[in-house]
Amino acid sequence: MSRINKNVILALLTLTSSAFLLFQLYYYKHYISAKNGAGVSKSKGNRIGFDSTQWRAVKKFVMLTSSQNVPVFLIDPLILELINKDFEQVKNISHGSTSECKFFCVPRDFTAFALRYHLWKNEEGWFRTAENMGFQCLKVESKDPRLDGIDSLSGTEIPLHYICRLANHAIHLVVFHERSGNYLWHGHLRLKGRVDRKFVPFRKLQFGRYPGAFDRPELQQITLDGLEVLIPKDPVHFLEEIPHSRFIECRYKEARAFFQQYLDDNTVEAMAFRKSAKELLQLAARTLKKLGVRFWLSSGTCLGWYRQCNIIPYSKDVDLGIFIQDYKSDIISAFQDVGLPLKHKFGKRTAWNYLSREKMM
């Protein structure tokens, strides 16, 4: 009898303890946690996401470039797309008014910025400061293609990309160089033999898989996740350029070999034609760009670029091509408005010839 009473008492104690424990858990979940959570939110001002690795890395990078007067601008496609979804609201955000990290806290391995190299005055000092702030930086250099046509300078190396890692997030700084055609160019990111391939996941980089060319963007400053950054004033245009930015360099060595066998025509007439032809190309390119029409160099103009890196002086015209699906009826009037009247029309909208006699004389 005493044994039965002891088992009953033990069972009752066990049930009572379990019920009390469940009550404690319920009370903590619904009252204590809620109260503490409200206190934390109030003390932090609802600043959500600002402890992320991505944001801290970008913040340090922005502080670094600002302290060194390095005029970098944001070119990260993912973030620019997010900005573009609500561009007007983003432009009106004031410094310190952001309560939630919506852009730089998006999970990713890299954040891409760009720099116009001729504006960078203290590269070595920047590197030292970056290392002191905890960044591990990799510099990628290669030959300057702009000098390939000059024997005495061919082989000179220039910086193309910088990758600075902080913890498990990296900043990819793409170096833009000025080109004679009034555009910006960046080089191919090629890793040399001794570079640690595991430094960052290089295959995930948005820029550097091939050389690229972009229009020189006008910039504007905005506040993004509490940080002041520069971005392209027209982010849509910059994003549209990325898929079509691949740059094919002229074959300077082959061109020199061609002119060793066939003398170049440097007469006054040939020089004048080349100058007029290049001006005509620029005018046609601007006109088609305004219409949103893609084009390419065709026929003799393309041959001249490929074979001798120049306009063929005896061709006496400029050849461009477009896809039939890109044809627009207002192409004729657009060319007419810039002084390029229609002279000949061949076939069914496939080979129309626009030629300004004044331009080509």
Whether 316 and 360 have beta carbons less than 8 Å apart is answered as: yes
Same domain, 208 and 288: no
Out of 244, 272, 292, a domain closes at: 244
Residues 258 and 218 in one domain: no
Structural domain count, the chain: 2
Residue 32: per-residue pLDDT: 38
Closest CA to 109 of 174, 197, 199, 200: 200
Query: In this structure, are residues 144 and 157 in contact, taking their beta carbons and an 8 Å threshold?
Result: yes
Residues 256 and 238 in one domain: no
The reported pTM is: 0.75
- Residue-wise DSSP of 249-317: ---HHHHHHHHHHS----SHHHHHHHHHHHHHHHHHHHHHHHHT---EE-HHHHHHHHHHSS--TTS-S
Within-domain flag for 230: yes
H or E segment to which residue 117 belongs: none
On whether both 221 and 132 belong to a single domain, the answer is yes
Q: Distance of CA 212 to CAs 184, 191, 236, Å?
A: 8, 17, 17
Last residue of some domain: 213, 244, 275?
A: 244
Mark which of 211, 244, 277 sits at the end of a domain. 244
Q: How many CB atoms lie within 10 A of CB 23?
A: 10
Specify the CATH number for the domain of residue 121. Answer: 3.30.460
Torsion of CA 66, 67, 70, 71, to 10 degrees: 20
**Domain assignment present for 125:** yes
pLDDT at 31 (0 to 100): 43
Enclosing domain of residue 275:
252-360
> 53 near 167, Cβ under 8 Å?
yes
Amino acid, single-letter form, for residue 35 = K
Examine the domain organization and report whether 309 and 263 are in the same domain. Answer: yes
Q: What is the pLDDT along the chain (361 residues), one digit of tens a residue?
A: 455 566 767 667 677 766 666 666 655 444 433 333 333 333 343 455 677 888 999 999 999 999 888 899 999 999 999 999 888 888 777 665 666 788 998 888 999 999 999 888 888 888 889 999 999 999 999 988 877 766 655 668 899 999 999 988 999 999 999 988 778 999 999 988 788 888 999 999 999 999 999 999 999 999 998 899 999 999 999 999 999 999 998 888 889 889 989 988 889 999 999 999 999 998 999 999 899 898 999 999 999 999 999 999 988 889 999 998 888 889 999 999 999 998 887 776 555 555 544 444 4
